[in-house]
Amino acid sequence: MNVNDTSTAQPFVRRTRKVFYHPNGKGTGSALQLELHPAHEDTEGSVFLTMAPQRTIGMRTADDTVHPTFDWRNAVCLKLDLMDLAQMLQVFRGVQESLADGKGIFHRSSNASAVIKFEHRIEPIPGYMLDVSKKPLTGELQRVSFFFRAAEAFACALMLEQALVYVAFGIPTVIPRMRPAPAMPSPAMPVAETPVAQAIVA
């Protein structure tokens, strides 16, 4: 087998989404999805935050397992830019206990307004609470919360920290460096014959 044969190689597919699921037995859980949109040309990068409430509880029997489902059709979706992510990382890292001293980050678009609140909690379980409220201009208020456990918070903080590079600069393009062609050796210069000096006989 020729390992250098790339004629049948599959194209590399980037994974840009990560989903966290938190169902519970009361049906009040939620799911959270982070989707990376790298910057390109004149378009700023972002991370799309989508939060969906739990729809069904699910059930497990001896013969079958029915998994909980989430209402993605009525999910809350927000676009987080570079500074939004930086402020969230401040909370993850312990620089701040909450976003804007508990006031949260306010977003406004042509068709809705939203408030993102994120805070560090110690009791009853250590972790981080993310609460998003969104009010469409012609609809009802939507509110979804998601609680990051300690390990999830650690992983999410690292993901967002790495994502900042792509949000700011996009995906780096490797530009091959053109090496100059090696110089051809110059032909040896012919050595002029030195006439032998004739002795002068006094």
Distance (Å) of CA 22 to CA 63, 85, 91, 148:
24, 22, 21, 9
> Domain ranges in the chain?
17-58+66-169
Distance (Å) of CA 190 to CA 193, 194, 195, 197:
9, 12, 15, 21
* 17-21, 58-62, 92-96: least confident range: 58-62
- Both tokens of 12, joined, read 């590399």
User: Which pLDDT score is estimated for 78?
Assistant: 95
Pairing of strands 65-66, 69-70: unpaired
User: Which pLDDT score is estimated for 202?
Assistant: 47
User: Which pLDDT score is estimated for 58?
Assistant: 85
Q: DSSP alpha helices (H): ranges in 32-175?
A: 82-93, 150-169
Considering the domain delimited by 17-58+66-169, tell me its CATH architecture: Roll (2.30)
36: three-class secondary structure by DSSP: strand
**Is the pLDDT score of 161 beyond 80?**
yes
Average pLDDT of span 147-167:
96
- Both tokens of 53, joined, read 């409430």
By percentage, how much of the chain surpasses pLDDT 90? 66
pLDDT in tens, 5-46: 555 656 656 778 999 999 999 999 999 999 999 999 889 999
